Amino acid sequence: MILFVGWAIAVITVAIGYVIAGPIWVKRHSLRFRVGHTLRRCSGMYGEIALVTFGAMLVYLIDQSSPSTTVDELVMARPMVSLGALILVALVVYVHGIRTAMAAETGERGRLGFTYSIYGVFSTVFFAGGLALIALVVTQALADASNFSELSKAAIAQLPMSGAADTDTLQRGLELSYLDTQLLLSKAEDSMSPVFVFMAGIFAINLAIRLTPLRSLFINNAVLLTMVTTIIGVIAVLVVGAWTYIGYYSSFINDYLAALEEFRGFIVKANPDALERYSDIYVEMIDQKALLGFVTRISNEWGGVAAVLGVTQWIVEQFNRPEQEESPAHAHEPAEA
């Protein structure tokens, strides 16, 4: 609900801001596109509405892929922190807006100042949404680590550490423990989904900026913007991946292998089939502990989507390097749409 309300406020205020600014802002923020051999221009309002909609969709997807928390729960659980973050973002946005308006030509300062007073609401919501996105990813990662720690003890406890247990009990305990272990490791792998959604969303937005008139909203900074956001996405995947693997995935497998070592003294007296099954499980756990095995297993459907979009973005960048259309310094003035 909070996400929808924020998106609606952003759309309304950016539309009002462009209406107030009129031709002054269309000159500064416009979408450029070609119709035949003619270069035309229309209000950048449509592009900014598209961007905030893409951003809201990205936050929604991460919200839906985070089983432990939502945007509403984050805000309700920490209302004062959320309010403080919103005020801080608004302060930065409005300081920037005032400075920009004061740096304009004398006849445009008043109108631009009034425009930024409305447009600042849009910018505040937009950047606050970015903070909410980061908070979702971090909160989910911490929740996954906490849940994993609790469940890992139960999985290891399934191994019957008793010499008095019969063969059937030993084998049943081994199988149940292995099953719990696989379910637990699967949860750890699924915990990467939010950050893969985050990266896929970044690549999708970058492609929209590079392949559509949205790029003219950023003048010559479209290339820099896509590079910076790509780096942020890659860093997010690396940080969360390292946190997952080093923090609890690999350490749990080490603990489980140690428990299997202790369990060997009991299972070695069982029938050959049980011993063979024990050996298969032990080798399988060693393979899963390998970093390459971890990377392979976390590459779920969202990881695949992110990879495809990332490769597509790279290919587009190779064929779209000059980006001459982004510069306002054209020989012919664009016609109004």
Q: What is the pLDDT of residue 112?
A: 78
Alpha-carbon separation of residue 36 from 32, 39, 77, 277 (angstroms): 13, 8, 54, 69
pLDDT tens for residues 49-102?
Answer: 888 888 888 888 888 877 777 888 888 888 888 888 889 888 988 887 788 777
Residue 161 backbone dihedrals phi, psi, to 5 degrees: -90, 65
pLDDT tens for residues 220-256?
Answer: 555 566 677 777 777 877 888 787 888 778 888 888 8
CA angle 329, 334, 335 (to 5 degrees): 165
pLDDT value at 108 more than 50: yes
Of the ranges 29-33, 125-129, 158-162, the best mean pLDDT one? 125-129
In which band, very low, low, confident or very high, does the pLDDT at 219 lie, cut at 50, 70 and 90?
low
Which of 164-178, 257-271, 296-310 comes out lowest in average pLDDT?
Answer: 296-310
User: Averaged over 185-196, what is the pLDDT?
Assistant: 78
The overall average pLDDT reported for the chain is 77
Q: How many CA atoms lie within 13 A of 301 on its CB side?
A: 1
Q: What count of other Cβ atoms lies within 10 Å of the Cβ of residue 139?
A: 18
Please identify which residue in the block is written with the tokens 């309002």: 45
CA 106 to chain centre: 42
pLDDT value at 292 more than 70: yes
pLDDT value at 173 more than 80: yes
Task: Return the DSSP state at 32.
Answer: E
In which band, very low, low, confident or very high, does the pLDDT at 184 lie, cut at 50, 70 and 90?
confident
User: Averaged over 195-218, what is the pLDDT?
Assistant: 73
pLDDT value at 337 more than 60: no
CB burial string 225-236: b at 16+ within 10 A, e below: bbeebbeebeeb
Please identify which residue in the block is written with the tokens 């892929």: 65
d(Cα 100, Cα 108) in Å, to the nearest integer?
11
Q: What count of other Cβ atoms lies within 10 Å of the Cβ of residue 299?
A: 15
pLDDT tens for residues 277-288?
Answer: 888 988 888 888
pLDDT value at 309 more than 60: yes
Q: What is the pLDDT of residue 331?
A: 42
pLDDT value at 17 more than 60: yes
The token pair at 76 is 């309700």
Which of 34-38, 167-171, 187-191, 257-261 comes out lowest in average pLDDT?
Answer: 34-38
| pTM, rounded to two decimals | 0.70
User: Averaged over 116-141, what is the pLDDT?
Assistant: 84
